Amino acid sequence: MPLDELQQATTAAVDADWWRQAAVYQIYPRSFADTNADGLGDLPGITSRVDYLKSLHIDAVWLSPFYPSALADGGYDVDDYRNVDPRLGTLDDFDAMTQALHAAGIRVIVDIVPNHSSDRHEWFRAALSSEKGSEERNRYIFRDGLGEHGELPPTDWESIFGGPAWEPVGDGQWYLHLFAKEQPDFNWSNDEVRQDFLKTLRFWSDRGVDGFRVDVAHALAKNIGYENYPSKEELAAMPWDGTHPIWDRDEVHDIYAQWREVFNEYDPPRTAVAEAWTDADRRPAYARASGLGQAFNFDLLQADFDAAAFKKIITFNLAQAAAAGSSTTWVYSNHDVVRHATRYGLPAVGDPDAAKKWLLHGADAEQLDAALGLRRAHAATLMELALPGSAYLYQGEELGLPEVTGIPDAQRQDPAFFRNKGVEVGRDGCRVPLPWSTSGPSFGFGESHAHLPQPAGFGQYSVAAQDGQDGSTLELYRKALKLRRELQDEESLRWLPSEPGVLAFSRPGGWVCITNFSAEPQPLPAGELLLTSAELTAEHTLPAATTAWLRA
């Protein structure tokens, strides 16, 4: 093979694996940066911050939905899968953003929401104005209601956000919505639905998108007959073994096999990561190369800040991902959970639901040790960034942002709050627009207000306040991500002997990471100190809740 061809082939091979150990930064576009003073972040806002993103040394951004949407569920209710919400920009703005990110060496992942559309999608509107049994209705899951005139729902099932999972349409039929009523579920047994999503995957891939994050990947295939429906109790008691009527059915993988063929039409192949809240032992089917290629595990996100718990999770997930031919994924925060700087400062650290309850009941300040939370967050992140596999970071965690508490009810947006009054506080507290400057309207997010209220004092977390400041969260992320790029080698890890409450491992090339999860100082092994998550106060000693990177 001539040399230039060989070089090209080698580059393509290297490129094809870019995702395996990538640091991926999740952008929630409506809360990132607003360039036209309407209070909503937009795509030109992302483009205007490419230098900032580059300064983080991340490999990719994942954009939560930016498609046209009534925002019944923060954009996860999509009106049109192949367009941009006019409030966020245009397709030209999308192209300009992608170009600028690519020029900065940052890949682009978009969110694809295949389980449901919004009720404003043209297909759903057509379904509503068509008859029972029509082709239009067959793209969604319409069923006859019970009772003489269909006035009762087909089942007593509840939606994830609370309230009934069926909505009547006035002619005796009801449609299924696992989430908000503005999010009707697609019928994936219908080939038209399948073909349309293949078109969408190609549409964005043709525009240069490098990968996809697949929303609710485990719910697409359903088996919902017309008779003998299980009750909600029966449904809840059914095992998730591939035969459940809704969740994680085996047939869902036929869909992803088809998607994989589309991904592989591109060079390098487009990547995908499944958001599949399945039983751990069923993740490999999503993560294998013939499927989506990678799957989230949310195990660390749900773990206590505890050495033994972390070790078990890390060992399990590395082995499992490797057996599937994939690499694993680490996540502490995203747009759906209480931010980890806050979670780690609460008594029931490992239980995101407990954190939500704490928020619900007035976010009692006495229960929160914010300084400890942030310190542990730094330690956990520095450990995460030393692990083999991909690290998924959520915008604002690089600023150490806490969960915003006390958003007035009237300003809340999350359907989980409204549909579940008094039971769920919702996810608005982690979606508050980023502070870029120490003062000014919306702390530099834009020239006017922010669509979710920022608390007074948010400026102390701003990029401006932390930029260049030694010891700031931002500089810790920058240094760690830069070093990670230099040190990252093969996807392997070797545990080193350590005291109880401490985890230590080495990576190829002599990179050692040691984390003290305990509340007492612990001995620090010898080696060249590369980076620590907190200042060291005594020689050869690793303080409580601190991580150090060394070269052995």
398 binds ligand NOJ per the rule CB under 6 A: no
DSSP 8-state assignment for residue 274 = E
The per-residue DSSP string of 444-465 comes to GT-SS--SSPPPTTGGGGSHHH
Q: Please report how close the Cβ of residue 261 comes to ligand NOJ at its closest, in angstroms.
A: 25
Residue 42 interacting with Ca ion (CB under 5 A): yes
DSSP state of 357: H
Tokens of 241: 């073994």
Q: Is residue 40 close enough to count as binding Ca ion by CB under 5 A?
A: yes
Selection from Ca ion, ligand NOJ, none that 113 binds (CB < 5 to 8 A by kind) is ligand NOJ
Subset of residues 316 to 335 that bind ligand NOJ, contact rule: CB under 6 A: 335
Give 28's contacts (C-beta < 8 A, 6+ positions apart).
41, 64, 74, 335, 394, 395, 431
- Our finding on whether 447 is near Ca ion (CB under 5 A) is no
Residues in contact with 274: Cβ distance below 8 Å, sequence separation at least 6, in sequence order:
214, 217, 218, 256, 283, 286, 287, 291, 292, 294, 295, 296
Residue 38 in contact with Ca ion, rule: CB under 5 A: yes
Q: For every residue of 177-211, which 3-state class applies, written as one string? A: CCCCCCCCEECCCCHHHHHHHHHHHHHHHHCCCCE
Whole-number minimum distance, CB 275 to ligand NOJ, in Å?
A: 6
Contact 444, 454 (CB under 8 A): no
Question: Is there binding between residue 513 and Ca ion (CB under 5 A)?
Answer: no
Query: E strand or H helix at 506, and its extent?
Result: strand 502-507
Q: How many residues does the chain have?
A: 552
Contact 529, 547 (CB under 8 A): no
List all residues 6 or more positions away from 459 whose beta carbon is below 8 Å from its beta carbon. 435, 437, 438, 439, 443, 465
- Min dist CB 273 to ligand NOJ, Å, is 12
Asked if 491 touches Ca ion (CB under 5 A), the answer is no
Adjacent-strand bridge partners of 61 = 25, 108
CB of 446 to Ca ion, least distance (A): 6
Among 113, 209, 321, 377, binds ligand NOJ (CB under 6 A): 113
Which of 73, 384, 398, 491 contacts ligand NOJ by CB under 6 A? Answer: 73
Q: Looking at the DSSP assignment, which residues form a beta bridge with residue 132?
A: none
Contacting range for ligand NOJ; rule: CB under 6 A; set: 69-77, 98-106, 265-273, 386-394: 69-77
Residue 99's binding partner out of Ca ion, ligand NOJ, none, with CB under 5 to 8 Å set by partner kind: none
Q: Which of 114, 64, 83, 75 is nearest to 215 (CA)?
A: 114
**Chain CA centroid to CA 56, Å:** 18
Q: Which of 32, 175, 179, 247 is close enough to bind ligand NOJ by CB under 6 A?
A: 179
Report the 3 state secondary structure along 365-402.
Answer: HHHCCHHHHHHHHHHHHHHHCCCCCEEEEECCHHHCCC
Position 336 contacts ligand NOJ (CB under 6 A): yes
Residue 40 interacts with which of Ca ion, ligand NOJ, none, CB < 5 to 8 Å by class: Ca ion
- Give SS3 for 117: coil
Q: Which of Ca ion, ligand NOJ, none interacts with 73 (beta carbon under 5 to 8 A by kind)? A: ligand NOJ
Identify the CA nearest to 140 among candidates 105, 177, 109.
177
CB of 184 to Ca ion, least distance (A): 28
Contact partner at residue 34 from Ca ion, ligand NOJ, none, CB < 5 to 8 Å by partner kind: Ca ion
Minimal distance in Å, beta carbon 335 to ligand NOJ?
A: 6
The listed partner (Ca ion, ligand NOJ, none) that binds 403, CB under 5 to 8 Å by sort, is: none
Q: Give yes or no for a contact between 11 and 263, defined as CB atoms under 8 angstroms apart.
A: no
Residue nearest to ligand NOJ (CB): 76
Q: 167 is in the binding site of which of Ca ion, ligand NOJ, none (Cβ under 5 to 8 A by kind)?
A: none
Size of the site for ligand NOJ (CB under 6 A): 10
Q: Which stretch binds Ca ion (CB under 5 A): 26-34, 329-337, 352-360, 392-400?
A: 26-34
Binding mask 218-257 for ligand NOJ (x = CB under 6 A): ----------------------------------------
Active site residues: 215, 265
User: Smallest distance, Å, CB 131 to ligand NOJ?
Assistant: 29
Our CB check for Ca ion shows the closer of 417 and 436 to be 436
Binding site for Ca ion (CB under 5 A): 34, 36, 38, 40, 42
Binding site for ligand NOJ (CB under 6 A): 73-74, 76, 113, 179, 215-216, 275, 335-336
